[in-house]
C-alpha cells in the first residue's frame, strides 16, 4: 500500500538519497537497515513529508503523497516514531501521549487508546505527570512509541526504537512491535540491531550511501555474506 518510487533527496548540494524505491504491503513488517549516514532517517522523513523529495513518486493506497505537508500525511495514517524520540520535553508524559491523538479523526476514542498504551507500558502510567524531558532514555522511547500508538496508525514507521535501551527493554519493544504487526498494523522498521530486526521482519531493504543496495526476504538477507560482514559484524 506504500510505494516509494525512485525518489531523490538533497541536502543543499549533497544527495542523501538517490533513486530509492521501496514498498510496504498491507499488514507487512518491512525492515530498513544500513550503516550510519546511509540515509535511513532521510527516507522516513521524506515519506512523512518533513524533507522534500525531488523526482520519483510516493503513493499510498494509490494516492500520490509527494509534496504533501507532514500533517496531511499523518492524516493518512502514516505515523513515524522519529529518531531521537523527539518528545515534547516540557509537557507531561500524558500530554505527550494525548498529543499523539491530535488529529480530529483519531481524537475520538483517545481515552481508550490512552488506557491501552498505559497497559502496554505500565512504566508510563507511573510517570504520567512527569515532564517528558526528565525521563530516562528507555522511558522516553516508550513514551515516543506510546505517542505514536495514540495516533492509531495504519503504517507505523520506527526509526531506531531500541536505541539506548537495555537489552531487556529492547527485546520488549521488539516484542510489542511484533505484536502490533500481528494485530494488523503495517510497520516499517529501521534499526541497527540488524539481527533482531531481520528476525522479526518479513522483507528487508539495505541502504548504502543513499541507494538501495539490496532487498529481499529478511531470512535471505540474514544469510547474505555481505550483510553478514558489513552489518552483523560476523
User: Residue 80: beta bridge partners?
Assistant: 157
Q: Phi/psi at 160 (nearest 5 deg)?
A: 50, 65
* Residues 163-192: x where in contact with ligand ATP by CB under 6 A, - otherwise, as a string: -x----------------------------
Q: Enumerate long-range contacts of 137-141, CB under 8 Å, 24 or more apart.
A: 137/164, 137/165, 138/164, 138/165, 138/166, 138/169, 140/85, 140/87, 141/85, 141/165, 141/169, 141/173
CB of 205 to other proteins, least distance (A): 14
Among Mg ion, other proteins, ligand ATP, none, what binds residue 75 when CB lies within 5 to 8 Å by partner kind?
other proteins
Candidate segments 8-16, 114-122, 176-184, 194-202, binder of ligand ATP by CB under 6 A: 8-16
How many CB atoms neighbour CB 166 within 10 A? 11
**Is 99 exposed, middle or buried (CB count within 10 Å of its CB: 0-12, 13-18, 19+)?**
middle
* Residues 45-84: x where in contact with other proteins by CB under 8 A, - otherwise, as a string: ---xxx------------------xxx--xx---xx-xxx
* Residues 75-94: x where in contact with ligand ATP by CB under 6 A, - otherwise, as a string: --------x-----------
Q: What angle do CA 229, 7, 4 make, to 5 degrees?
A: 80
DSSP secondary structure string for all residues of 208-220: ETTEEEEEEEHHH
163 scored as a contact of other proteins (CB under 8 A): yes
CB of 136 to other proteins, least distance (A): 3
Q: Phi/psi at 36 (nearest 5 deg)?
A: -65, 130
Q: Which three cell numbers stand for residue 15?
A: 544527495
List of residues contacting ligand ATP (CB under 6 A):
11, 14, 16, 34, 36-42, 83, 134-138, 164
List of residues contacting other proteins (CB under 8 A):
12, 33, 35-37, 48-50, 69-71, 74-75, 79-80, 82-84, 86-91, 95-96, 98-100, 102-103, 107, 123, 134-139, 141, 147, 151, 160, 163-172, 192-195, 229-234
Amino acid at each position: 500500500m506504500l510505494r516509494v518510487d525512485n525518489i531523490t533527496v538533497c541536502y543543499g548540494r549533497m544527495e542523501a538519497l538517490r533513486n530509492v524505491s521501496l514498498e510496504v504491503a498491507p499488514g507487512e513488517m518491512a525492515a530498513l537497515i544500513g550503516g550510519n549516514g546511509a540515509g535511513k532517517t532521510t527516507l522516513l522523513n521524506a515519506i512523512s513529508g518533513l524533507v522534500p523529495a525531488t523526482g520519483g513518486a510516493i503513493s499510498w493506497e494509490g494516492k500520490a503523497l509527494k509534496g504533501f505537508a507532514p500533517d496531511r500525511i499523518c492524516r493518512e495514517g502514516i505515523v513515524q516514531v522519529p529518531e531521537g524520540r523527539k518528545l515534547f520535553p516540557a509537557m507531561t508524559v500524558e500530554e505527550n501521549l494525548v498529543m499523539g491523538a491530535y488529529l480530529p479523526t483519531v481524537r475520538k476514542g483517545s481515552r481508550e487508546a490512552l488506557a491501552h498504551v498505559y497497559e502496554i507500558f505500565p512504566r508510563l502510567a507511573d510517570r504520567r505527570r512527569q515532564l517528558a524531558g526528565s525521563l530516562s532514555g528507555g522511558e522516553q522511547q516508550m513514551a515516543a512509541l506510546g505517542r505514536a500508538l495514540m495516533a492509531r496508525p495504519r503504517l507505523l514507521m520506527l526509526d531506531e526504537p531500541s536505541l539506548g535501551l537495555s537489552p531487556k527493554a529492547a527485546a520488549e519493544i521488539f516484542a510489542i512491535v511484533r505484536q502490533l504487526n500481528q494485530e494488523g498494523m503495517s510497520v516499517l522498521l529501521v534499526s541497527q540491531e540488524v539481527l533482531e530486526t531481520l528476525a522479526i521482519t518479513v522483507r528487508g531493504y539495505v541502504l548504502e550511501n543513499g541507494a538501495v543496495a539490496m532487498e529481499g526476504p529478511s531470512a535471505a538477507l540474514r544469510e547474505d555474506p555481505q550483510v553478514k560482514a558489513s552489518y552483523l559484524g560476523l
